[in-house]
Amino acid sequence: MKIAVFDSHHYDQQALKLANARFGHQLQFFEPRLNASTALLAQGFEAVCPFVNCRLDATTLAQLQQGGTRLVALRAAGFNGIDLAAAKQLGIAVARVPAYSPHAVAEHAFALLLTLVRKTHRAYNRVREADFSLDGLVGFDLHGKTLGLIGTGKIGQVAARIGAGFGCRVLLADPQPDTAFATSIGAHYVARETLLAESDIVSLHLPLSPQTQHLIDAAALAAMKPGAILINTSRGGLVDTGALIAALKSGHLGGVALDVYELEEGVFFQDLSASGIADDQLARLTTFPNVLITSHQGFLTREALANIAETTLENARAFAAGEPLRNAVG
């Protein structure tokens, strides 16, 4: 198939080109995100390949359909940026990559957690300046702490196993509990309210939907233990940023680590070092010493990129061959 790849970077292109040696698709890479302003670039392409911050609303999808696009091959798990009802009405199939490397994201969550609680980022900067003092770098053991995981899909379960390996008491919350899994690692499913109240660390591992939008709001933050840590490597919209800033200002939260942000579009994946951050809330978050932010890089491992490329191109192959789309959404 002739595929227009949007929001592409060197690492995307490298992985897709390598995987495409087996498939033989015609790939054209575009740096801009796919939206109503850039949809004309896909004129004449049978398929488009957007990433998480592309916006395929009804207007964009109509432009794509008029240009000959019949497939949206999303190279990510989340699809909240796509108007699925409009795609169905226009006869455009949508496929995703449901699981690329749950280990990549779960391990990044713990990389953030360990960096935050042991202050290794601050220590690194000190040593670079020949400052070998330890004042202000006191952290805490993960062993013996209560780790609460909201969402126990593939990523959540990997995170739970890692937490159990650290010797944490692991609490789980999910509308569809996997009790056999919980029993296998000595974890326990509890009500979300119980998890928030008892956890020293709360980590989010669930998709963004109308039901989960701002799941962590002012009330949820107030329900957390004083001094607790919040980790979000899932979707930025799960957390109400205004409420998060208020909880940090009051000192209620002990720390926050984010790999995602609800208004990350136009910011994450970009170099803004010359222009600065225009988003006031994001700029405010960066001023807190107990906040750690990475730019949606949880997926960024060699293994995950290879799996994303392989599944994305296989989705396109199956569609072109008239086979059922195993990873269809909508």
| pLDDT digit string, tens, across residues 30-42 | 999 999 999 999 9
Tens of pLDDT, residue by residue over 88-111, are 999 999 999 988 889 999 999 999
Percent of the chain with pLDDT over 90: 92
Q: How confident is the model at residue 266 (pLDDT cuts 50, 70, 90)?
A: confident
Taking the C-alpha atoms of residue 52 and residue 14, their distance in angstroms, rounded to an integer, is 18
| C-alpha dihedral sign at 164, 170, 174, 180 | positive
* Domain annotation covers residue 329: no
* Domain annotation covers residue 175: yes
pLDDT at residue 161, as a whole number: 98
* Domain annotation covers residue 328: no
Percent of the chain with pLDDT over 70: 100
pLDDT at residue 100, as a whole number: 84
When divided into structural domains, the chain yields a total of 2
Tens of pLDDT, residue by residue over 124-134, are 999 999 999 99
With beta carbons less than 8 A apart as the criterion, state whether 117 and 141 touch.
no
**Residue 72, Ramachandran bin (φ over 0: left; ψ between -120 and 50: alpha; else beta):** beta
- Burial status of residue 280 (CB atoms within 10 A of its CB: 0-12, 13-18, 19 or more): exposed
pLDDT at residue 269, as a whole number: 85
pLDDT at residue 57, as a whole number: 97
| Both structure tokens of 284 | 């405010």
**Does the structure show a pLDDT above 90 at 59?**
yes
**Does the structure show a pLDDT above 90 at 227?**
yes
Question: What would the mean pLDDT of 240-266 be, rounded to a whole number?
Answer: 96
Residue 141, phi then psi, degrees to nearest 5: -70, 145
Alpha helices in 145-255 (DSSP H): 154-165, 179-185, 192-198, 218-223, 241-250
Q: Give yes or no: residues 134 and 84 share one domain.
A: no
Q: Give yes or no: residues 153 and 284 share one domain.
A: yes
**Does the structure show a pLDDT above 90 at 56?**
yes
DSSP string, 69-124: --EEE-SSS--TTB-HHHHHHHT-EEE--S-S-HHHHHHHHHHHHHHHHHTHHHHH
Give the catalytic positions in this structure.
Answer: 235, 264, 296
User: 């108007």: which residue's tokens?
Assistant: 83
Distances (CA, A) of 177 to 83, 174, 197, 292: 29, 5, 19, 30
With beta carbons less than 8 A apart as the criterion, state whether 233 and 256 touch.
no
- Residues β-bridged to residue 149: 172, 203
* Domain annotation covers residue 282: yes
Contacts 24+ apart (CB under 8 A), 42-45: 42/4, 42/6, 42/67, 42/69, 43/67, 43/68, 44/2, 44/68, 45/2, 45/3, 45/4, 45/69
Q: Give yes or no: residues 45 and 21 share one domain.
A: yes
pLDDT at residue 271, as a whole number: 85
| C-alpha dihedral sign at 219, 224, 226, 232 | negative
* Domain annotation covers residue 327: no
Q: Give yes or no: residues 170 and 237 share one domain.
A: yes
Q: Give yes or no: residues 175 and 38 share one domain.
A: no
Q: Give yes or no: residues 64 and 213 share one domain.
A: no
pLDDT at residue 6, as a whole number: 97
Q: Give yes or no: residues 76 and 202 share one domain.
A: no
**pLDDT, averaged across the chain:** 96
The enclosing H or E element of 263 equals none
Tens of pLDDT, residue by residue over 321-330, are 999 999 999 7
Q: Give yes or no: residues 155 and 19 share one domain.
A: no
Q: Give yes or no: residues 153 and 96 share one domain.
A: no
* Domain annotation covers residue 153: yes
Tens of pLDDT, residue by residue over 174-214, are 999 999 999 999 999 999 999 999 999 999 999 999 999 99
Tens of pLDDT, residue by residue over 142-162, are 999 999 999 999 999 999 999
Q: Give yes or no: residues 75 and 142 share one domain.
A: no
**Among 47-56, 75-84, 134-143, 290-299, whose mean pLDDT is lowest?**
75-84
Q: Give yes or no: residues 170 and 93 share one domain.
A: no
Q: Give yes or no: residues 260 and 185 share one domain.
A: yes
Residues 6+ apart with CB under 8 A from 257: 109, 112, 113, 115, 116, 229, 230, 231, 232, 291, 292, 293
| Residue 44 belongs to domain with CATH number | 3.40.50.720
**Does the structure show a pLDDT above 90 at 62?**
yes
Can you give the residue range of the structural domain that contains 281?
A: 102-293
* Domain annotation covers residue 330: no
